[in-house]
Amino acid sequence: MPLATTQSGPTQFSRPFEFVRSSPIATIAIAQLFGTSLWFSANSAAPDLMHAWGIGISGIGLLTNAVQLGFILGTLSIALSGLADRYPASRIFVASAVCGALFNACFARFSHGLASAAGYRFLVGLSLAGIYPIGMKLVVSWAPNRRGAALAYLVGMLTLGTALPQGVRFMGATWKWQAVILTSSALALAGGFLILWLGDGPHLAVRANASGIRMGGVLGAFRSEQLRAAALGYFGHMWELYTFWTLTPLIITTALAARGQRLSVPGLAFLIIAIGAAGCILGGLWSRRIGSARVAAMALATSGACCAIVASAGLKLSPHAVLAILLLWGAAVVADSPQFSALSAEAAPPQQVGAVLAIQNSVGFAITIASIAVATSLYSRLGLSIGWILLPGPVLGLIGLYPAWAKARRD
């Protein structure tokens, strides 16, 4: 029997089902928002975990890197096994959302120290490999002719998903940390249910006869100068992005709360990370006028400038000026991300889009492990000067992206 109607007319489920089918990009974006709330769920409970388990900043960095490592191994497995381009993307997304919700719940209920917590966070990262890059493929399968704008909405939702646990922590200030974590699991299940209703788009057909993809075959796609430029720009961007998100509550404490300002650190952290969603959407709109390469270059330059300002003058500026710069940084630091994915999807061979995006994600997240480890271990000594550690990311990203944005300027 059809889901949306019965013999007596529309059922109570018809309206939401019609919205899901008629607004696939919005549906995928909402599902991405819910699914990626798993990513930084542990960071929202950082003060409680540091107190309960007697760990420091580097311990929180370890939990974050456990997720990153799981994500890297997951994306590599998806790419090299052929899973990303062999099976329906919607099925991979749904299975990954369910597994991620389960492992995240286990982290909340059964972790009693850093070792067990890191194991569960690793499994959450493994599950996220079937949510983030596969979500990008789903978007391309529904809207192949407007990748930049569509992916901007998707990464905007990833950004909101990253900020969401901080928002939940702010709204439920009296909740136990386990309740905040379990809220992310419930949201991930809701995201999987939305994709289960939606299914796959009409483009990028499944390659049923693909038994796997040779590493050389995937890497061969990067002979394209435009694909290499997008990937190199993305790698520089990744050195900065997740480390900035990891350090945001600490930067707020150092720059504002420690100077006698009465503020809610989780609330401000939510705003600074979440404003990246607006940056992504605005960048997506601009990309339709000036191209993805130019938008990515502008975002890299802006976030690099914010790195330098906070590092060199963060403690000399007024609290309002610092907050304005942090909000600008939060908007710019992720605005380039969907444009890199759009450039890569456009330059990749059509039959390898899923694998190329997964490989690119895998390398990018490997870079975040080094960046997060270095920055969290040095933050107690450097404070806001940690911006100098992040600055090479956008600078090298601009250099790597140069062939793409130079071509866009000529065109």
DSSP secondary structure letter of residue 385? G
DSSP secondary structure letter of residue 55? -
Q: In whole angstroms, what is the distance from residue 285 CA to residue 31 CA?
A: 21
One DSSP character per residue, 76-96 reads HHHHHHSHHHHS-HHHHHHHH
At 358 the three-state DSSP class reads helix
What tens digit of pLDDT does each residue of 312-343 get? 998 888 888 999 999 999 999 999 998 998 89
Predicted TM-score of the model (pTM): 0.78
Q: What is the mean pLDDT of residues 158-171?
A: 80
What per-residue confidence (pLDDT) applies to 3?
43
Cα 77–chain centre separation: 19
| Lowest mean pLDDT across 48-52, 298-302, 350-354 | 350-354
What per-residue confidence (pLDDT) applies to 398?
95
Q: In whole angstroms, what is the distance from residue 199 CA to residue 132 CA?
A: 16
Contact 276, 334 (CB under 8 A): yes
What tens digit of pLDDT does each residue of 92-117 get? 999 999 999 999 999 999 988 899 99
Determine what percent of the chain is predicted with pLDDT higher than 90.
41
Contact 256, 388 (CB under 8 A): no
Residue 408 — very low, low, confident or very high, per pLDDT cuts 50/70/90?
low
Statement: residue 303 has pLDDT above 90: yes
Contact 352, 371 (CB under 8 A): no
One DSSP character per residue, 92-148 reads HHHHHHHHHHHHHHHHHHH--SHHHHHHHHHHHHHHHTTTHHHHHHHHHHH-GGGHH
Residue 298 — very low, low, confident or very high, per pLDDT cuts 50/70/90?
very high
Statement: residue 254 has pLDDT above 80: yes
Q: How far apart are the first and last CA of the chain?
A: 53
